[in-house]
Chain A
Amino acid sequence: MLRRRVIPCLDVANGRVVKGTRFVDLTDEGDPPELAARYADEGADELVFLDISAAPEGRGTLLEIVERTARRAFVPLTVGGGVRSVVEMRDVLRAGADKVSLNTAAVAEPTLISRCASRFGRQAVVVAIDARRSGVEGAAPAWEVVVKGGREGTGLDVIGWAERAVDLGAGELLVTSMDRDGTRSGYDTELLRAITSRVGVPVIASGGAAGPSDFVAAVVDGGADAVLAASIFHRRIHSIADVKAAMAAAGLPVRGAPVAA
């Protein structure tokens, strides 16, 4: 049976893993390949690198880091952040990434998704969607797609964009609740369910994880195939094994889970 995946996310800026609430209060957390190898050893099912380098000069460094990581960690690697063209995607894949996630550039130019999918196969194209609640209190819930790390609204409806991205060739969706991101108040399972009930591709939940029960809820209530988190792993608040044990105890199929007592 297909396992539900637990995925640590590494925010990388100028060649280093940083922690902090996405764009503020960044502190140096170490060498990306080192941390990636540690997580792979600890049972990470995949790894996601998100390049948050503010300056374009960070990009060359990123490719070198992707290659060093691919040579250290024998689990799949998704790389995202600032990929704007088929050529840039090719370079990231050549460096050793298995998948590339597209976000702002895909919103600006949706055909980027179909061009990348027809060149590399849809399984290599992850579309990352940053969502913010936009509905009025009391009305049916709605979410707006936001870009540029949450700083800019687009007016796009998240569900409509998710369906369109899949039609264009997205093989997977990485859905981040910007309302929950960094708040440690749990994943937005309503958002996840609204998407997973409408698309047939795997959905990765992101934004808001505080503890193992949140991962369980993202899968059970939200229908997510995979669950991503950053700070709770970096800060060693919870281990990947803790999370998997909770998922296994809830009856979810996970890889390498310790047998529940």
Chain B
Amino acid sequence: MRDDRRDPPADDRPLVAVVDYGAGNLVSIDQALTAVGARVQLVRDGADVPKAELLVVPGVGAAAPAMERLERGRLVEPIVDWIRSGRPYLGICLGLQLLFEGSDEDGAETLGILPGRTVKLRNAPTLPHIGWNQVERRRDHALFAGITDAADFYFVHSYAGVPTGDDGEAAILAETEHGDRFVSAVARENVLGVQFHPERSGGNGLRLLANLVRWSVALSAGATMGALPIGAGGTRGGD
């Protein structure tokens, strides 16, 4: 992993800061982002958040221990500040759930960026929800450019965020069915979240991460989101 790297010479790859708080598979995130042309720096302490194009909070597992570990690393405030300042953010799985106000899993209070709570999947035939499932879009977004609607991505979770109110509803980007439908992707301005694991989702996942990096660079450079190229990168279907 590239956490020990200092000022690589003439490296103009976009920098992605990935929060390392002991939850989730960092090898695969590092490798997948590297594969799409980004450079990854792990962040273990809130004092060390670099000037990056994008902040990623990955993670699997329960909310309470995750919030504890984020607090121990003095990471909560820097993450919230990052989001509030309008810089690009992606939450993956638990990193999406933490954006809501709280979690039913263990009663944890979470970051409260998005209105709503994380609740157990309802009427699910199996739990945890493990495997490839279809991500059905409610609207277009640069994140899914070149990816067919209802393409398969890899999930592993038992809980998911339920956005509430008009603001929450408006943030819903995609849904997935396992028992009842649940929200599998959100997007509100600079904040993106996916319940699935793009870093483990083969070609579709790499395409999404490539879109993400491009979107982040454009957003960091001050482009308006509406001006982002929507079908860039070809239209090859789901893998």
Contacts and interface: CB of A to CB of B under 8 A. Distances in A.
A122 B61 CA distance: 7
A76 B154 contact: yes
B202 A97 contact: no
A87 to B, nearest CB: 13
Interface stretch (A11-19, A66-74, A133-141): A66-74
How many B residues touch the partner, as a band?
Answer: 35 or more
A45 B131 contact: yes
A122 B200 CA distance: 18
B27 A5 contact: no
B202 A75 contact: yes
A4 B129 CA distance: 12
Among A74, A97, A122, chain B packs the most CB atoms within 10 A around the CB of: A74
B164 interface: no
Interface string A106-138: 000000000000001111100000000000000
Given A74-B28, A76-B156, A1 B131 contact: no
B131 A5 contact: yes
A95 B32 CA distance: 15
Contact of B28 (A1, A3, A98, A99): A98
B152 A255 contact: yes
B126 A45 contact: no
Main secondary structure of the interface of B (DSSP, over half): mixed
A96 B239 CA distance: 23
A65 interface: no
A201 B25 contact: no
Given A1-B177, A123-B60, A70 B132 contact: no
A74 B131 contact: no
Given A70-B25, A74-B200, A120-B61, A200 B158 contact: no
Contacts of B154: 75-76
A200 B202 CA distance: 27
A98 B133 contact: no
Contacts of B35: 74
A45 B201 CA distance: 9
Nearest to B177: A1
Contacts of A98: 25, 28, 156, 200
Contacts of A97: 25
Contact of A71 (B27, B131, B134): B27
B170 interface: no
A172 B128 contact: yes
Contact of B31 (A2, A70, A76, A225): A70
Interface string B23-39: 10111100110010000
Given A94-B27, A172-B128, A225-B131, 6 more contacts: A71-B27, A71-B31, A75-B200, A98-B28, A200-B127, A255-B132
22 contacts: A1-B133, A2-B131, A2-B178, A45-B131, A67-B27, A70-B25, A71-B31, A74-B200, A74-B205, A75-B154, A75-B202, A95-B27, A99-B156, A121-B23, A123-B128, A123-B130, A124-B61, A202-B130, A225-B126, A226-B131, A256-B152, A256-B239
